[in-house]
Structure 1
Amino acid sequence: MPNQRTGPGGQSPDSRLASVFRASSELVAWIATPWALWSFSIPLAILSVVVLIGLPTVFTTPGDKAHGMIAVPGAVTIALVLMQLAAAVISSWAAWYPAIAIVVSVLAAACLVTEIPRWRWLVTRR
């Protein structure tokens, strides 16, 4: 397939476009979530960043990323991506102007659509 990254040994079919949407959504989640939580609780805002960055770094599905500390089934990786997307959308609506939140919501929707091939692959991983 054009524009697909597939490695030897059945590695994840992760397109560059999906990677860009996923990374952009993650970045928005990392910024918007502590921004939305800061006035409510500074420790919670800091904890949100630790969770949003730390969990996907520690828990990875074998073959999906080059490195990770703890191997998990594909469903866990999908749940972590969904957590990032939900954080990006909910936090952007809570912290920013509606116009920006709409753009973030469209970005998250695009991420969902482009992630489908990767998620199909991930659900087969245990």
Structure 2
Amino acid sequence: MMDRTHARPDDRLASVFRFATELVAWVATPWALAGTSWLLAALSVVVLIGLPTVFATPGDKAQAMVPVPGAVTILLVLLQLTAAVVSAWLVWPAWAAVVVSVLAATTLVTERPRWRWLLTSARHP
């Protein structure tokens, strides 16, 4: 059994911000790419939803199809955050892009305990 210092941190609040930012990425990124290529727009959805579904750090999700180190999980979250912010600035009015940017910044702050755990205590494949 793991002691409390190595237990996965309670990240319910961080999960809310992370999921909200992911939703923005899933909507805004294909929207931003649709003018260039419908294929790129569809591919962006596959990448943004598919990669985190398939690749996960054991102990972070109930089940990991393909186990990866914590750093990979963090990089996948950063991909989502970047996609959300960049796409929002490309396709939405400035006020909405500012809201998305604040949401992503809040996610970065609230994710820190989970990321620290992912880098130091998560079970690696």
* Mean Cα deviation higher: 110-119 or 9-18: 9-18
Cα-to-partner distance string for 1:5-25 (whole Å, 9 max, x where unaligned): xxx745531421100000000
Q: Secondary structure at the match of 1:103?
A: helix
The question of whether the paired residues in 2 share the 8 Å contact of 1:12 and 1:121 is answered with yes
Q: Is 1:40 the equivalent of 2:39?
A: no
Alignment of 1:1-126 (within 5 A): 9=2, 11-124=7-120, 125=122, 126=124
- Structure with greater proportional helix content: 2
SS of match in other structure, 1:62: coil
Report the TM-score when normalising by structure 1: 0.90
8 Å CA contact retained: 1:32, 1:91: yes
TM-score norm. by structure 2 comes to 0.91
- Distance change in 2, residues 1:31/1:83 (3 Å): same
Unaligned runs of at least 5 residues, structure 2: none
Q: Report Cα offsets for 1:72-111 as digits up to 9, x if no partner.
A: 0000000000000000000000011010000000000000
Structure 2 letter corresponding to 1:123: L
Secondary structure (helix, strand or coil) at the match of 1:29 reads helix
Q: How many residues align?
A: 119
Task: Give the AA of the match of 2:94.
Answer: P
Matched residue SS, 1:123: helix
Which blocks of at least 5 consecutive residues in structure 1 are unaligned?
Answer: 1-7
